[in-house]
Structure 1
Amino acid sequence: MPARRFDRERVRAVRRAADVSQADVASALGSADSTVAGWESGATTPDQEKLPALAEVLNRPLDDLFPRDGLPDLTDLRCDAGLYRYETRTVIGTKSDGPVAGAEQGVRRLKDRYVPLLAAAYGVTEDELRRAQDRSFGEAGEDAADAEKVPETLAEKITLLLERSYPGRTAPADREIADSVNAYAGSQVTSAEGIEALRTGADDGPLPVVLEGLARFFDVSRLYFEPNDAVARQVYEGLRLMQAAKQGKVGRVRARGMGVDGLPADVLALLNDLAGELDKKAGPGIDSE
């Protein structure tokens, strides 16, 4: 969405009318006197994250002093809360601000557990935050067009994460990623050379524990790294079992007999819960063998 409009002449007029000096503004915002002078002269403009504090020190409503056209997206909500993106990692309890950066850029949506934390930090409801997220994905211009090109290979998926999750900062090196994956596995399962091979496409068949470690490092779902056809197969199998449960043929979905390509444990747990609900409504069924 368009950023809030900063009118240097109006800011100067409001400041003078309030009998607030540039030094007072600088002190309240933790900036240098010369920085505030630069804003009012037109040499520079303040970060959007600074505008809430600037409106407060001038005792004017944010929307009145710095109006914005249209409804806010995720970036707007964060800036209106006076938070820089790097500060959100503390809010959601992650090592990096990658999850927030990805959502703001329309690359991947926030995990459900992050929504209430960010909503509270931004001073909005969870519904308002979700609607802002929808706008980040639906009105992100060229970034949204790029995001529609869904990566297919493992190398493309890793590259997308590295390119989009660290804007304005240096992406982690192969060694850093490898060390994190090995720490997750509790043993030496990969190396910097191994990560490079995955990233460049030289290797597209890593151990499952490596993919799990990558998912943990980038804070994405393990399914993100699965081939598209494998994900589709898991969804189909889940739907088939759910249909059987709905028809009263299955009382408890079990992993027995599904093989290495069966459903992940978390999906099975969800299906078991749903099957249990069906049991309550339709009476006991027949355990699958």
Structure 2
Amino acid sequence: MPPRRFDGRQIRRVRRERDLTQMALAKPLGVSRATVAQWEAGKTFPDGDRLPALADVLEHPLDALFPRDGEPDLTDLRCDAGLSQGNAAEAAGLGRTALGDAERGLRRLDTAQLEKLGGAYGVPIGQVLAAQACSFGDPPSPADVLSRSPESEVDQLVSLLRRLPEAVRPSDAQVASMINAEAQRHVVSAEDVSALRAGGSAEPVELHETPLQAVLDGLSAVLVVGLVRTGEVQIAARGAEGGIAPDMLSTLNEYLLRSSRT
């Protein structure tokens, strides 16, 4: 899978916004000022497992500072945990060769080993199973994607839904109706939507049986209607003050672009 995107100019901009010198950024990362200068100039790049620490020092969200196209595989999960392959294998009680083979898509880890990895990385077993599937090129199932939290597309779209102005925010029944319309059958109730909005753990059985695309299409349709009504899509896209946050607008835009190609 694609690694996180690294833009040295973005690092320079955020560092200056935080009023940090290159040395002040370098010291907690255990690198030299010259290394930071090379990163910012685009001459070299930090290892993936160093990006979480870099984002922490800059006090900036990892996903916003280093976005990634596509779902994470096992290597991505390890890097997001800030662990080298050797440290990850030790933390999970695995052999480094076994972990390396799994990351390269050569030999799968069993469920018990994946549970240990999840504990070391601080992520649920469902996310680790999905990551191993990515490492081996397996297509993710709807249940796998819906279980990922909080990085899944469903969670991101629900997060954006919560931030619609109250005047145009659709009711739980309206959201459920649009999702059911996309699925062409009843798959989610107003109560399920209410729990999702509140960040609850509602897991309607039929939601996991319906095509994930229908759920995503239904949510995105609700969002497009709400955002167009307020004019916020146009405002944010023009770069004016206000409007929805750029990262959330980007999430919706990327999803709609992908949907238009399918």
TM-score, normalising length from structure 1? 0.46
Aligned length: 139
3-state secondary structure, aligned to 1:20: coil
Q: Distance in 1 between the 2:27 and 2:120 partners? A: 24
Letter in 2 for 1:76: D
Aligned partners of 2:4 and 2:48 also within 8 Å: yes
3-state secondary structure, aligned to 1:16: helix
| Structure 2 equivalent of residue 122 of structure 1 | 121
| Structure 2 equivalent of residue 11 of structure 1 | 11
Cα shift readout 1:196-248 (whole Å, capped 9, x = no counterpart): xxxxxxxxxxxxxxxxxxxxxxxxxxxxxxxxxxxxxxxxxxxxxxxxxxxxx
Structure 1 stretches of at least 4 aligned residues deviating more than 2 Å after TM superposition? none
> How big is the shift at 1:93?
2.1
Change (3 A) 1:9 1:74: same
Higher deviation after alignment, 4-13 or 106-115: 106-115
Which residues in structure 2 correspond to 1:176-255 (within 5 Å)? none
Cα shift readout 1:114-141 (whole Å, capped 9, x = no counterpart): 212210221210011001100100169x
| Structure 2 equivalent of residue 112 of structure 1 | 111
Which residues in structure 2 correspond to 1:16-55 (within 5 Å)? 16-55=16-55
Q: Distance in 1 between the 2:97 and 2:110 partners? A: 12
> How big is the shift at 1:38?
1.0
Letter in 2 for 1:12: R
Question: Which one scores higher on RCO, CA 8 angstroms, separation ≥ 6?
Answer: 2
Aligned partners of 2:108 and 2:132 also within 8 Å: yes
Q: Distance in 1 between the 2:76 and 2:111 partners? A: 20
Unaligned runs of 5+ in 2: 140-262
| Structure 1 equivalent of residue 101 of structure 2 | 102
3-state secondary structure, aligned to 2:111: coil
Q: Distance in 2 between the 1:107 and 1:93 partners? A: 19
Q: Distance in 2 between the 1:39 and 1:31 partners? A: 11
> How big is the shift at 1:34?
1.2
> How big is the shift at 1:25?
1.4
Q: Percent identity?
A: 50
| Structure 2 equivalent of residue 59 of structure 1 | 59
Letter in 2 for 1:74: L
Unaligned runs of 5+ in 1: 141-289
Q: Distance in 2 between the 1:7 and 1:119 partners? A: 29
Letter in 2 for 1:83: L
Change (3 A) 1:42 1:87: same
TM-score, normalising length from structure 2? 0.51
Aligned partners of 2:102 and 2:108 also within 8 Å: yes
Letter in 2 for 1:135: C
Q: Distance in 1 between the 2:40 and 2:138 partners? A: 31
Letter in 1 for 2:29: L
3-state secondary structure, aligned to 1:138: coil
Give the structure with higher Rg (CA).
1
Q: Distance in 1 between the 2:92 and 2:12 partners? A: 37
> How big is the shift at 1:113?
2.3
Cα shift readout 1:84-104 (whole Å, capped 9, x = no counterpart): 11112212324x411111111
| Structure 2 equivalent of residue 193 of structure 1 | none
